[in-house]
A and B are shown apart, each in its own frame.
Chain A
Amino acid sequence: MIKFINVNKKFSDECIPLKNINLEISRGEVVVICGPSGAGKSTLIRVINKLETIDSGEIIVDGKHLSDPRTNLTALRAETGMVFQQLNLYPHKTALKNIMLAPMKVRKLSKREAEEKSMKLLEKVGLAHKYNSYPSQLSGGEQQRVAIARSLAMEPKIMLFDEPTSALDPELINEVLDVMISLAEEGMTMIVVTHEMAFAQRVASRVVFMDFGEILEIGKTPDIFVDPQHHRTKEFMSNILHTPVFCYNEPKNK
């Protein structure tokens, strides 16, 4: 479904977020990416829908080469849902309108079709009663759930999550994770950057550990938690697993 072949990216000599990345993710897999700040985790998923470009190598998404100029980038992006760390619903639109925008403008659904579809998705994330609320009237967790619904409205084949819970109050994390777990159980292909190891243990088929732009270890759950191979992975796992998971909030990495 997604294939990275020798992908490299460099911002400067000190900052090399992606070093020779090779990774293949198949349909229906849930892959969790973890690692310390500045490890290149966010960049790894941002290059999949070309929010960032790569310097060399090739990325193939759903059989389409990203570097190929004939690839319809807008169409590809529409099929790749993305949820960010920052709470970024459109602040001037209600929850429902946030979800309706792209289906109407990109998929050319009629207003009624888009409305029906969006209401269904709001129900799915448990927020049907808040359809008329503006983002400022929603809690962080609710905003992220609407953001997930907004991505799902495009019927994506792949969902990318870039630390969707790290900007949230600890109490609100689980409601977002629950939505993600149910998505995973429905068979969605997902790549999730997160430090919620309980989430990883429950739904991830594989965990990728990154540091300094390199993939140091790819392990199946729960092996990577119980018996990490690389010394950096050991260090990292012992550090974060000793911290109660629900308190762990990583500083934003950029």
Chain B
Amino acid sequence: MMVTGVKITLLLLLVTSITSLCLGTVIAIMRMSRTRALRFFGRLYVEIFRNIPGLFWLLFFYFVFPELLPYGLGDKLNAYDNYPIVAAIMGLTVDNASYVSDILRSGRLAIPDSQREVAISTGLNRVQQYLYVLLPQMFRAILPPLGTRMVHNFKNTSLCMAITVPELTWATQQIESLTFRGLEATAIATVFYIALSLSMVAVIILLEKYYKIDISSMTQAKGR
């Protein structure tokens, strides 16, 4: 049971880290778009998903979302054995993406506008400007807060026990109620959570070192 719990927790961590990073990037780019409507929907997304608790979104995707779908599709989802995991991934993703997009936006603001101007003046189009000039610098600039956010998202996976996802925290509770050996199970879970959080932090520190861009050269480029 513990082993399955660890597996599910890792699965949630891996999948939602990637999906929320992708969704967050899309939302961040929408928010910086020249098109008013895109900016509006980007903003709307962030305000909705950031200001309502993550647990609510888990419950929403588990209980409410299938009801909203056209008749038949929702039933199929409810009948699907792994639907709790799917709902968990959706809930964690939309929650985390709202934070990721805001962090990314702060990264964009940290890059001097002259970087974009250079890219324009050498003839790069909008997509190329983001792909080769802005996004690589944005991700480097936001590594520390982004790392913290990802650790936070990892811890949020424990909320998924509320929608019957057999992840690690759920497993400790099951063991407690079945065998009354909750103390041991919780201890193991604690060690696992700390170990994984710390290794995430270690990876982030390594990335920061590897991708360090000299801040002095960037502030200089900012002009006065």
Contact = CB atoms under 8 A, between A and B. Distances in A.
Pair from one complex: yes
A77 interface: yes
Nearest to A104: B132
A14 to B, nearest CB: 21
Given A136-B213, A136-B217, A82 B114 contact: no
A141 interface: no
Interface string A209-236: 0000000000000000000000000000
B137 interface: yes
A87 B220 CA distance: 7
A102 B115 contact: no
B133 to A, nearest CB: 6
Interface residues of B, number: 28
Contacts of B121: 49, 51, 77, 80-82, 151
A143 B121 CA distance: 17
A105 B137 contact: no
Contacts, number: 93
Contacts of B224: 251-252
A135 B217 contact: yes
B123 A75 contact: yes
Contacts of B115: 88, 90
A112 interface: no
A100 B122 CA distance: 11
A154 B216 CA distance: 28
Q: Classify chain A's interface size.
A: 35 or more
A51 B220 contact: no
A37 to B, nearest CB: 12
Nearest to A153: B122
Contacts of B144: none
A134 B125 CA distance: 24
Interface in B66-118: 112, 114-115, 117-118
Contact of A105 (B132, B213, B216): B132
B123 A91 contact: no
B123 A102 contact: yes
Interface of A: 49, 51, 74-75, 77-82, 84-92, 101-102, 105-106, 134-136, 140, 143, 147, 150-151, 154, 167, 251-252
Interface of B: 112, 114-115, 117-118, 120-125, 128, 132-133, 136-137, 140, 211, 213-214, 216-218, 220-224
Q: What are the 8 A-B residue pairs with the smallest beta carbon separation, nearest first?
A: A78-B123, A136-B214, A102-B122, A82-B121, A136-B217, A106-B123, A88-B114, A91-B213
